[in-house]
Amino acid sequence: MKAFFSPALRVASHSLRLHLRDRFFGLFLLFSLLLIYSSLLVGVMAVYQERRALVDFGLALMELMGLAFCVYASATAVSSEVETKTIYLVFSRPVPRHSYLLGKMLAVFGAAAVLLAATALMHSSLLLLRGHAPDGPYFAALAYSWLKLTIISSLVFAVSMFSTSSLSSMVIGFILWMLGHFAPETVLMAAQAAGEGSLLELLARLIPNFQLFNFKDALDVRGAAAPPLAALPYAAAWWAGSYGFAWALLRRKEF
């Protein structure tokens, strides 16, 4: 176990530092903060619904900027090391490929958490300033956003192992993100179009259901305040599946 986790944690801590020092991370963070600050205008326009507008708009912005960062970071995490040949310096050492992959994925998860935490700090401060203290469900909604981001990151990692360029991995990532918000509808349409148990329906089922994680939609709905705990093992299954698929491809690659 030590031989598996020790190199993974070393790769993760190094890669996390690189993400946090990356110009793009800084730009995503700065842009998120600007957008969140400008969301004050939306709150003003909403008049009696100011809290709801500020919370909804802020959480959505944080998630979108997190998505942009995660898709970019996951798509380029391995390919940039292949292009610069730094991967030679890693794989010529006693670093198993499965540990390397795990380390890279954990680093993106960690960077996404830092990005969400930094933007949430600013957002919470604005909410407090306007007299709307953020509550437990607000932070639960943030945690579920992070889970969504980790799932899409794992999927983009898996895609980047067979994709011909980082750009195509990113495009596929965004498409999966959009489809994932209509997963049940997509499965239903596939079953209606090609019949139940068809290949199309099976493929539609290979899209993660991101609706499960949209706890932020339920924040202002009476009686729907309990976070969906079933989403946790569901997220874990997607991490494991994507990681396994990515590893199966990476272990065969020659550089």
The residues of the shown chain that bind another protein, judged by CB under 8 A, are 3, 7, 10-11, 14, 18, 21, 84-86, 88-96, 254-255
Contact 156, 79 (CB under 8 A): no
d(C-alpha 67, C-alpha 174), whole Å:
8
Closer residue to another protein, CB minimum distance, 57 or 247: 247
State the CB neighbour count (10 A cutoff) for residue 115.
Answer: 25
Closer residue to another protein, CB minimum distance, 15 or 145: 15
Q: Least CB distance from residue 95 to another protein, whole Å? A: 5
- Which of 144, 79, 77, 134 has the alpha carbon at shortest distance from 113? 144
Q: Least CB distance from residue 90 to another protein, whole Å? A: 6
Residue type, 254: E
Specify the long-range contacts of residues 227-232, CB closer than 8 Å, at least 24 apart. 227/137, 227/140, 227/143, 227/144, 228/144, 231/144, 231/147, 232/147
Closer residue to another protein, CB minimum distance, 53 or 95: 95
Closer residue to another protein, CB minimum distance, 4 or 139: 4
Q: Least CB distance from residue 157 to another protein, whole Å? A: 20
Q: Least CB distance from residue 172 to another protein, whole Å? A: 19
